[in-house]
Amino acid sequence: MLVFRWLVLLLLVGAAVTLAVYVGTRDRRWLRLTLLIAKWTVIAGLGFFGVLLLERLVMVV
């Protein structure tokens, strides 16, 4: 669980930093990298909530 939390946090920070670099430089490759990191952040977040859901289901059964 702690690994998922850190992973999502680091991905969010990475997306924010690359977005700030894009705003500063207006270089499109930073925007593309921001969107890629944001996509993987959403995937990691869904994985995190999936693990939480599975833990709850196992506790109920």
pLDDT at residue 32 greater than cutoff 90: yes
Please give the residue range of the domain that contains residue 52.
Answer: 2-60
Task: Report the pLDDT value the prediction gives residue 10, as an integer from 0 to 100.
Answer: 96
- Averaged pLDDT score across all residues of the chain: 94
Which residue bears the tokens 């490759």? Answer: 29
- Give the integer Cα–Cα distance in Å for 10 and 7: 5
- Give the integer Cα–Cα distance in Å for 34 and 25: 13
Write down the H helix ranges in 1-61: 2-25, 28-60
Which residue bears the tokens 């705003």? Answer: 23
Which residue bears the tokens 């996509």? Answer: 39
Q: What total of structural domains would you count in the chain?
A: 1
- Give the integer Cα–Cα distance in Å for 57 and 49: 12
Give residue-wise pLDDT tens across range 1-29.
Answer: 788 889 999 999 999 999 999 999 999 99
